[in-house]
Structures are given as structure tokens and as C-alpha cells.
Structure 1
Amino acid sequence: MKKQQIHKTIQTIVYGGLIAAIYVALTILFEPISFGPIQFRIAELLCILPFFTPAAIPGLFVGCLLGNLLGGVIIYDVIFGSLATLIGAAGSYLLRKHRFAVCIPPILANTLIIPFVLRYAYQLPDTLPYLFATVGIGEILAIGVLGNLLLLALSKNPAISRVLRGNFA
């Protein structure tokens, strides 16, 4: 393996690990509002990071997985919640050429998957339309509003944008 490939691999692992750690920290720090039928998971604002780097995809997945495990959710929530984040992050990366569209895949993935987890895995008596609305509103606020504000702030700083993209020169 060439030195440049090794450097890129290490960089991807480090970036993914940092993103995962920040996701976990935000999830646990704001634990009272990160879980449940009415949730506002602030860590979801990080779902815009695939705009800058593909390392965000595994980072967000691992961060959600660990955040859910540490948050004490049941295994179905760990699995399907983490998969929803993975799907959303991959979709965001695919839409990276359209800056303000990167928030759409994670909003849709979580809004369409998490209500089923809440309803059937937790046996919540709430109806699916109610859960779609509460999860969807939380995702729109976390990713659509906070995430896009973060995206705008990071994009306006050329030094930060270069570092996030792995260009240290």
C-alpha cells in the first residue's frame, strides 16, 4: 500500500472516530430529549457532515450505534436506529453536490423508520401518524435547521472546509 493511501485510510478512521465521539457525546449530554416518541436528538445535526467527507458515513453510524447502546435503548432500536442513520448519511453523501439537500436523506430515513421502531419494538400506544409527525418534526429541527446552520457556518470558513475535506495544504 502506498504511503498516500495509508495516510488517507488513517485520516478516514480518525475523522470517523471523531465524528462518532461527538455524536455520542451530544446524544448522552442531551439524553432527556434524545430518546422517546417526542425526541429532538441534537447530535443529528452532524448528519450534514457527509457534505465534507465520506468518513462521516461510518462515523455517524458508529456514533448512533454507541449513543443508542449507552442510552439504554432496546436492541431493535440500536439496530434499526443506527441503520436509519447509516442510510441517511449515505444519502447525504450522494447529494453532496447540492449543499442544502444533504439534510433531506437523514430526515426522511429517520422519519420513515424510527416511528415503526417506537410503535412495535417499544409497544407504544401512539399511532403511527403521530409518531411520524413527532419524529419528523424533531428531525427537521435537528438536521434541517441546526444542521443547515452548521453547514453554512462550516462552509463559510475556508480553513475548516479544507480540513474537513482532508486538504491540509
Structure 2
Amino acid sequence: MSKWSPRQLATAAIIAALYTVMSLMSSVFGLTYGPIQCRFSEALTVLPFFLPEAVPGLFVGCLVTNLMSTVGPLDIVIGSMATLLAALWTAKMPNKWLAPLPPVICNAVLIGAMIAWYETGFSAQFPALFAYNAVTVGIGEAVACYVLGLLLLTILPRIPALRGRLTLRA
């Protein structure tokens, strides 16, 4: 891994701060934690498609956000790791139309399972509750990533100050 420039480190820090603030904005509407969630900040999870430094920024931002989670330590670890996994996977996507898919899948599966386990443990109700949570979390994630995230992927390359800084792909 090569050293990152001060600009890249600052970009990662800004993304972390934006993720945290946007998550807190979602919490005002009760959309940040729980089985029905649509964190506005999740739109930022498409940024690794263009910016490698978004990966640690998203992880740190999610970690800070999850320190305030109603689920507790489980969300701090699993929720933050789901975002890290999604960010790493997003960076490998071949085109912008697939870039939102990793966060949707990672969050639907990992967060859906975490919430189901938190509510029932591995009881007989776990499979049904997991299915419900995976669908509801996945829908919220799809809205954030495919609506707001794709909007970001479309608009960012058009900003003159960002030209030359973004890794442009098909």
C-alpha cells in the first residue's frame, strides 16, 4: 500500500465527518438504527468507486455513528465491518450501475442478521425475523444507494474541482 497524500487523508476525514453528520440527520427522523432504516449517509458508500480514500473514511464515519447505536457493541463491530466490506467491494465494481450493489447486499445480510439475532437470538423465530429485517434494511439501503448514491456518481465527475481526482470508469 502506498503512502497517502495529505489531500487524500483530508478527503478520508471529510468523508468520515460527512457520514457521521448525515447519519445523525437520519436519526432525527428515526431512520438510522433498527429494522426499518434509510441512512442518508449510505449514499456515500458508492464513493470508493471513484476515490480509494473513501474506504477508511466510510469505515471511521460508520464506526463513530455506531458508537451511538441503540443495538450497542454488536452494531459497533458488525455494522462497521459491513460498511468496510461494502466499501472494499464497491471499489472493485466495474461500472457505476453496479457500485451501489455491495452496500445493499452487505447491509441486508449482515445488519438483517444482526438485528434478528439481537431480538431473538438463534431461536426458532430467527429465520423469519432475519428475512424480514434483510428485506427492510435492504430496501432502505437500495433507496439510499441507488437513488442518492447514483446521483452522486453522476454529478461528481461534472464538478470542475474534482476533475482529474476521480478514477473514472464506465
Q: What range describes the TM-score normalised by the shorter chain of this pair?
A: 0.7 to 0.9
Following the alignment from structure 1 to structure 2, what is the Cα–Cα distance between the partners of residues 110 and 71?
15
Residues of 2 paired with 1:92 and 1:164: CA distance? 14
Aligned residue number for residue 108 of structure 1: 105
RMSD of Structure 2 on Structure 1 (CA): 2.0
The structure carrying a bigger helix percent of its residues is 1
Kindly provide the amino acid, as one letter, of the partner of residue 110 in structure 2. I
Q: 1:130 aligns to what?
A: 132
Q: What is the match of residue 7 of structure 2?
A: 11
C-alpha spacing 1:58/1:110, structure 2 compared with 1 (3 Å)? same
Q: Secondary structure at the match of 1:33?
A: coil
- Deviation of residue 71 (structure 1)? 4.0
Structure 2 residue aligned with 1:78: 76
SS in structure 1 at match of 2:91? helix
What is the TM-score of this pair, normalised by structure 1? 0.86
- Give deviations 1:61-104, integer Å, cap 9, x for gaps: 11000011134541011100000000000001011x41221111
The within-5 A match list for 1:9-158 is: 9-31=5-27, 32-95=30-93, 97-123=94-120, 127-158=129-160
Aligned to 2:35, the other structure's residue is in SS state coil
Q: Is the 8 A contact 2:71 2:118 kept in 1?
A: no
Give the Cα separation in 1 of the matches to 2:155 and 2:102. Answer: 20
Q: Over residues 35-64 of structure 1, what are the superposed CA-to-partner deviations in whole Å (9 max), with x where a residue is unaligned?
A: 111001110000111122110001001100
1:118 alignment partner AA: I
* Residues paired across the two proteins, number: 159
For 2:146, what is the secondary structure of its paired residue? Answer: helix
For structure 1, list consecutive stretches of 5 or more residues without a partner in the other structure.
none
Query: 2:11–2:53: 8 Å Cα contact kept in structure 1?
Result: yes
Amino acid of the structure 2 residue aligned with 1:121? Y
In the alignment, structure 2 segments of 5+ residues that lack a partner are none
**8 Å CA contact 2:31, 2:37 repeated in 1:** yes
Amino acid at match of 2:98: A
Q: TM-score, normalised to structure 2's length?
A: 0.85
Structure 1 residues 11 and 104: alpha-carbon distance in aligned structure 2, compared to 1, 3 A threshold: same
